[in-house]
Amino acid sequence: MKRIVALLLTVAVMLMGMAMAESAFTPAESYDAGERAFHAGEVALTEAAQGGGEVNTVRYAGIEGKDYTDEKVYTALNSMAATTDLNWNPHAWETNDDDNVMSPMVTGLYAFELNENRDGYAIIPEMAADFPTDVTEEYVGQLGIAEGETGKAWRIPLNPDACWENGEKITADDYIYSMQQQLNPKMLNRRADSWYAGSLTIYNAKNYLYSGKTTYDPIQDTVAALTEAGEKLYVDLAGFWGLGGALDADGNEAPQYAPIDDETLYRDLAVEDESEDEAWVSAKYLYETYLADGMPYADYQTEYLCTADIAPETRGTRWASKRSTSTPST
């Protein structure tokens, strides 16, 4: 597909700056790591909502006889192309280069490590003390949860040894504060969607972020059915065609989402010669040429065609915690 970038979504939860207390650095010549024993357990989890199958929790123990405690023997290297304008804010990072540098500096609730058979990943608690417990029934009648539902609310015990650089314990309130900042309606952070899209979300988070503003969501039905129902459809110009920052003939910047019948032409700077085909494109052209039923990329309609809605005003927002777990709600 022309210039459609497949985004590699980082499988991680709760990117936030935190550090584990550690002792002062000791030169390698006198390096003594002590015992590095671990027990990952043999718990098999089954994802409730999507039914994705077993989750392995037994990680690879390494090559027998190899001393992984000696930093002179075992070294991991990574590299990245030199670049500028790096953004290492966990709430707003943009590129893979940002992530390459930032990832070693942050810790999620769970880590994905090589499993014992070296054919997939094992899930290991890190900032969490154990695996989630389904507590959906405790919230029936709240947060949009109906009687009999499961997999909607989870309690995650936090690692009691986790602390900040000054030795203070990391608590559920710290997580909640970070979530509030990431979803701050005034900041509109790039990674705010971490809490309203995907499998681990905060109830009503998107409305909290975009309170009173127009929101766009990928279509959940066929174009024919939505059109018959009177829904207005939009093309994701930036996501599908990379038109972020593109201008029309009057110097107006292209919106991220434009109606599928919008004929406004935007200059695609990826095409150097302005006289060439597709140097100027519109939402209508992209839809009719690529995304409409029967066109080459109709299979991507659920990614790049959207419906629009106005997020309801959210006032009196409540954020609560139960010390061992973060349970924000709006």
Per-residue model confidence as pLDDT tens digits over 128-146:
999 999 999 999 999 889 9
Per-residue model confidence as pLDDT tens digits over 179-223:
999 999 888 888 898 888 877 888 889 888 888 888 898 999 999
Which two structure tokens, joined as six digits, stand for 142?
Answer: 């709240």
Per-residue model confidence as pLDDT tens digits over 116-132:
888 888 999 999 999 99
Q: How far apart are CA 201 and CA 154, in angstroms?
A: 11
Amino acid 117: pLDDT: 85
Q: Which residues pair with 259 in a beta bridge?
A: 234
Nearest of 125, 127, 147 to residue 137 by alpha carbon: 147
Q: How far apart are CA 17 and CA 215, in angstroms?
A: 29
Amino acid 168: pLDDT: 95
Gyration radius of the chain's alpha carbons: 24
Q: How far apart are CA 314 and CA 75, in angstroms?
A: 50
For strands 305-310 and 233-236, give the pairing. antiparallel
Amino acid 19: pLDDT: 33
47-56, 205-214, 256-265: least confidently modelled range: 47-56
Predicted TM-score (pTM) of the model is 0.58
Per-residue model confidence as pLDDT tens digits over 272-330:
999 999 999 999 999 999 999 999 999 999 999 999 998 877 655 555 544 434 333 33
> What does the mean pLDDT of the chain come to?
78
pLDDT at 45 over 80: no
- Backbone φ and ψ of 128, nearest 5°: -90, 150
Task: Give the per-residue SS3 of the chain.
Answer: CCCCCCCCCCCCCCCCECCCCCCCCCCHHHCCCCCCCCCCCCCCEECCCCCCCEECCCECCCCCCCCCCCCCCCCCCCCCCCCCCCCCCCCCCCCHHHHHHHHHHECCCEEEEEECCCCCEEEEECCECCCCEECHHHHCCCCCCCCCCCCCCEECCECCCCECCCCCECCHHHHHHHHHHHCCCCCCCHHHHHHCCCCCCCCCHHHHHCCCCEEEEECCCCHHHHHHCCCCEEEEHHHHHCCCCCECCCCCECCCEEECCCCCCEECCCCCCCCCCCCEECHHHHHHHHHCCCCCCHHHHHHHEEEEEECCCCCCCCEEECCCCEEECC
Amino acid 114: pLDDT: 86
